[in-house]
Structures are given as C-alpha cells and as structure tokens.
Structure 1
Amino acid sequence: MTDYPITDYDDAYANGAHIDGAAEFPPRWTAQAETFRAQLGQAGRARLDLSYGPAPSNHLDLFLPEGRPKGLAVFVHGGYWKAFDKSYWSHLAAGPLAHGFAVAMPSYTLCPGNRISGIAREIAAAISLAAGEVDGPVRLTGHSAGGQLVTRMISGAALLAGDVLDRIAGVTSISGVHDLRPLQRTGMNDVLAIGAAEAQAESPLLLVPLASIPVMAWVGADERPEFVRQNRALYEVWRGFPMPVQMHEEAGKHHFDVIDGLADADHPLCRAFLGLEG
C-alpha cells in the first residue's frame, strides 16, 4: 500500500513496475487487436481510420454489429496521454458488439505534441463524428487517462454540442485519473506539462457534471493505491450531485487486466458499461 502523505509520486503512479509480466501485455494486446480487426474486416463490419479532425492522429475505427446498431459505444484508451493508439484495443469491442452496439475507438495526438486539454477537445470531435454515423444512445468508457477523458466529456466547460451530450446514456471510467494535480509532482510532467490552471480546468474531480448522466467508477482492487483512491474520490464527490453514480472495485484485477471484461459480453464490466441489469 502507498503511505500517505506520498513521498514518491513516480512510484505511486507506476503501474508496470508492480505487475508481474507487465512487458508481455502490449504485444498481447496488439496481436489480439490485429486478429479482431481482420475478422471484422472480412465480415464487412469494420470501418477503419475514419478522419475526425486535421491532425495525423485524428482517426477512429468504427466496428459494426450484425444488424442495425442499438446505439454507439466509445472506448478511449489510456497510456498517460503520451502512449498507445487505437490499434492496441480493437478486441475490447467484442462485448458491446455482441449486445448490438457499434463501437468507436479513436486515436488522439499524444503529449508532448498536445496538451491534455487539447486531447479532450480531440476526443469530443471523435465522439461527435461517430455519433453522426450511428443513431441511438451513446455510451462512453475509457481506461486510465481515458477515464479522465470520458468523465471530462460530461463535466466542466462543455466540449460536446448539446444534441450529442443529450444522447449520452452512461459513462464508465475504468481506473481513471480524475485529479491531475498529483501528476504535477511526477517525472511524467516533463512530457505532460500540466500547470495549475490546466489541472483545475481538466480534472473531473474538481468540476461540476453537466447533466444527470449515470456514471460507473470501476477499478481493479489490486491496482496501485492511488488509482483506487482516485476512483473512490470521483464516486464520493460526484454522488453529491443529482446524478446516479456507482463504484466497483473488481477483485483480483490490476491496471493492465481490469479492461479485459469489456471483451466479454457476459462480464459485469461490459454489462455495467452498456447499462444492462445484473
């Protein structure tokens, strides 16, 4: 466990150093995602590299279910706003697709080529583009940095047009970093360049939700204590607003495998994300 007050912020937010076999996860994700895209492409159900903006990374993949979509599910990847892209995560669309949802997965311009505030605006543009392609309710989920990005979509200064915001039926933050202020004390901030004003404006924990949208704050029980604390903090603060907020700490899961449940149509994470009972 992390002792408080924190004396080593880099260690407090280090994930791979505390996960056995951490280096094996990215190549595994890549292989699973490539296989998934190939299968969906052969079935004519993958629309890859749709442009949502002018930057080189402003592309998203849209995966389609069999038959007319029931709505749109959006997954925003993590990597501390400075690593990865959409190509690592395609297989996580399997769960929502099985329930009849189309799934959008955007890439975005990573830091230091962008600021966190700029990434949030790119994600808003990606969601808006995808929402124009798929009718029905929109559900957002994101992992780690992606958890911050999806909760930012529904709090603080509005980034989404009203007609898109009105369609958001639920938001699931998975291991989200909802308060950026501690990251200012890490070595990562040499790349992220978070200042006091940006931390205030882009930390969902410090912002007022824009609408009464159901929120699930999900985290692995075996994650670094700071991720568990950040998850609990969003739940405790946001449940003070007139909106449905739930929290779940999944037993036996760490930061790299907590997302696996999205790929399983019957897993509680996938069902919670889609607003399904049980």
Structure 2
Amino acid sequence: MAKETGHGEEAVLVGTAGDGREETAGAALEELKELAVSAGARVAAVLLRRSQRPDPAFFLGPGKIEELRQLVWEHQADLVIFDDELTPVQAGNLEELLATKIVDRTGLILDIFAQRAQTREAKLQVEKAQLEYLFPRLSGKGKALSRLGGGIGTRGPGETKLETDRRKLRQRMAIVNSRLKKVRAQRHLQRIPREKKAWPLLALVGYTSAGKSTLFRALTGTEVEVSERLFSTLDPALRRVVLPNRQEVFLVDTVGFIRKLPHQLVEAFRATLEEASHADLLLHVVNLAAPHVDEE
C-alpha cells in the first residue's frame, strides 16, 4: 500500500475486523490511520486480524505474527501500532520478538494528548492518565521502555521522557493527584460567579474533529484553534453568547470523543468533562459527511 502522510516514525498498523463486516473494519482502520498520523507517524503498511480470542502471550496467532514480522522487515518499521489494548506481557513479548517498538491504542491516544496539551491543567490531566497507564506495565516492560529512544509512546506532556523508575513514578503520581485536586477546587470556585448569573450553560459535544470548535468560533467570534487534527481541543473554552431572543447564555467547547476512549483519560479529564455534566443543554455536533455518521 502507499505510505500515508506523516513526518516521523515508520509504522505498521494492526487492526481488528470487529464484527466481521468489511465496512466496519474499514472505518476502524481509517480512524487508526488518523490517530497514527496525528501522533506523527508515517503509515507504511496495515495488517488486519479477525475478531477472535487474543493469544495470551503474543495477542496474535503464529501465522499473523509471521506476516507482521515480514511487514516490519520489508518496511524497516520503527514501531507497530495495535488498535487494541495489549497486556504488558503481550507488548513485551512482541517487542522482543520483532525487535521494534510496540504501541497499543491506549498508548497512542495518550501520546497524542501529551502532544496537544498546552495549559497547566491539560498537562496535569494527561500526565495523570499516562502514569496510571504506565505503572502496571513497568513490571512487564520496564526494561524495554528504558531502552527505547524518543518518539511515540515514550513522551509525556511537553516532550518530556516518561519516567520508568517505579519508586519515582509513584512519587510523581502523588504530586500530580495533589495538584489536580487544587485544579478541580479552582474550577468549582470559577463556576460560582457564573451560577449566580443564572444564565443557561450550553455545551458542544461530539466526536473529535466533528466541527465543534468551528461552530464555537462562528457563534462567539472567538479565535479558538480549528483543525482537522484529532483532539485539537483539550481545554474547555467558555464564552458568553447573546441569542436572537436576547437571552444570554454561556457556551462551552469540550474535548471530543472517539471509539474506545481510554478509561484513564475519562477519569483524568474529569475536571474538564464536568463542564458538560453541569450544562443545561448538550448540543451534539455531528459531521453529516462522515462515512459512518450513525456511529458518531
């Protein structure tokens, strides 16, 4: 296949044909390609596996492992990206067998969030999610992680190298959790003046890259980032809007959703998602041109 647009590491993607339907598998693969390119990878090849019980040691069966080995060798791939979450044992075994970096779906999405995080709050939330994801994996692949260079799956917010020492990582988790408690307390205090105004709160929600930020900018005139990149919005933007009937409301733009969103991110971004949970009205933004609009 032709290589996909990207500017960094050469990647082989491994997808799963969910319910066996080609159109469903195709949509999942397109999304995985978008995620990989958003992380900075160049998609060199794709391997599709049938939906079946994963091998406990390698995730893939012997035949697919051999196919994957050939693709890695043929394209001199820097990493293999799986559209499923791997156990620490599976990831470690594959890394050793293929002699290349292995990144699963959760690690890939966390890496994208780490690159997109700009504010102190977003960086703390991403780091919390990364630490919770990494900690149970250190026993299975700590040595492998320490051998890796930079790039996808190894960087924290601000391009910092992820910690691989369990003791230091536990200490860092305590610090991040403490700082996030303060962030959540600050968000609560910030809501009090808004609530006193008694203006309705409208929240834009929907799939990532569905057009939420474009609509937000059109309605508010605010110069928020509008991009086709996945997860370009990590921090909620809130502005006052006057409706045609003179009703004043608050409008908030929220982080987008995606299939199989890692539970670590849902928990870590609780402070951000609270804006939507306190909304009086959720405006679901859908891209009608999307090939699988019903899923969005």
Same-fold call, TM > 0.5?
A: no
Task: Tell me: higher relative CO, structure 1 or 2? Use CA pairs within 8 A at least 6 residues apart.
Answer: 1
Tell me which protein shows more helix as a share of its residues: 2
